[in-house]
Amino acid sequence: MFDIANNEYKSLKASSKRLLRVRIFEIDSNASIESMSAYQKEKISVLIIPPTRNALPDDNQISHLSSLIRGLHEKGATVVSICGGAYILAASGLASGREITTHWAHRDLLQHKYPDITVNTEQLLIDNGDIITAGGLMAWTDVGLLLIDRYLGSEVMISTSRFMILNTAQRIQTTYSGFHPKLTHGDAAVLKTQLWIHKYGGQGINLSEMAEKAELNLRTFIRRFSFATGFNPGEYCQRFRISASRNFLIVPGCTIEYAAWKCGYSDVSAYRKVFKRFLGVTPSEYKSSFLTKSNTE
């Protein structure tokens, strides 16, 4: 999938500047990663914990793996778990206080073993920014599309899914968004508020409520939030909503008015202006760029 995405990127962008590179690390019986020299030298943007075909590693192995995973996360890597890989993610402590997903067969045991985590197997994929979890064995396709969207852009993601003949209309609508804010800044109060904003889609939330969620006074909250994320709270919510609206625009038959309404904009004119300011194109231009490509295929 990533090779296809790279080819689509080069075709669409006439550039090889931003390509995805995949490295597979083998784990021996002691849960040590082979090719450790390469692991230490290279910057890893995303670490994927794959499904487990056999029994889970024992507690000692999981403990060692957890240390490696935390170390990569601290250096800025996004950590992804697929299916039973959620056990290793949970053991690392990175999912504490978060909502994650896994295969339905793992739900009860995982929830019992890690009560500080909310296990929601109703969702195929849950994107918390720095932590991504996917449900079944074949959910790797959804993870792949999400990562392609994040690193190569939504146009390349759509093109890749078409090449692979994947039915992505529903996935695009419910899963992918192009705003990927920083979540590894280390400010727990701000992170708590960010995840809360994401849960409610950035809609109907005022500054006082955000500050209250962070358990900070208003002035301190605004300063810390802006420093940690690079955006003031109002712009952060706006960007989140605008990015989410993209996912409706690229669904055939969806109107601009509907996309605006679904993301909390009752004034379509205001929505168009904010969309243009953040993305550099109008909603109509954004929508037509996908529809035109689809009609020529």
Same domain, 42 and 103: yes
Same domain, 192 and 46: no
Closest CA to 248 of 194, 286, 205, 200: 286
d(CA 139, CA 133): 9
pLDDT category of residue 46 using cuts at 50, 70 and 90: very high
Owning domain of residue 90: 2-174
Boundary (domain end) residue, out of 125, 151, 174: 174
Query: Please, what is the angle between helix 207-214 and helix 233-249, to 10°?
Result: 110
Long-range contacts for 54-59 (Cβ within 8 Å, ≥24 apart)?
56/84, 56/87, 56/88, 57/27, 57/31, 57/88
Same domain, 208 and 156: no
Boundary (domain end) residue, out of 174, 196, 222: 174
Q: How far is CA 89 from the centre of its chain?
A: 15
Asked if residue 124 lies in contact with residue 142, where contact means CB atoms within 8 angstroms, the answer is: yes
Segment 231-252 mean pLDDT = 88
Q: According to the model, what pLDDT value does residue 294 have? A: 46
Segment 236-249 mean pLDDT = 88
pLDDT category of residue 79 using cuts at 50, 70 and 90: very high
Asked if residue 168 lies in contact with residue 158, where contact means CB atoms within 8 angstroms, the answer is: yes
Segment 264-285 mean pLDDT = 88
Q: How many domains is the chain built from?
A: 2
In the predicted structure, residue 213 carries a pLDDT above the cut 80: yes
Same domain, 42 and 137: yes
> What does pLDDT average to over the chain?
82
Q: According to the model, what pLDDT value does residue 74 have? A: 87
| 183: in domain | no
Segment 201-222 mean pLDDT = 92
Closest CA to 254 of 125, 241, 263, 203: 263
In the predicted structure, residue 207 carries a pLDDT above the cut 90: yes
In the predicted structure, residue 148 carries a pLDDT above the cut 70: yes
CATH number at residue 40: 3.40.50.880
pLDDT category of residue 276 using cuts at 50, 70 and 90: confident
| 92: in domain | yes
| 210: in domain | yes
| 182: in domain | no
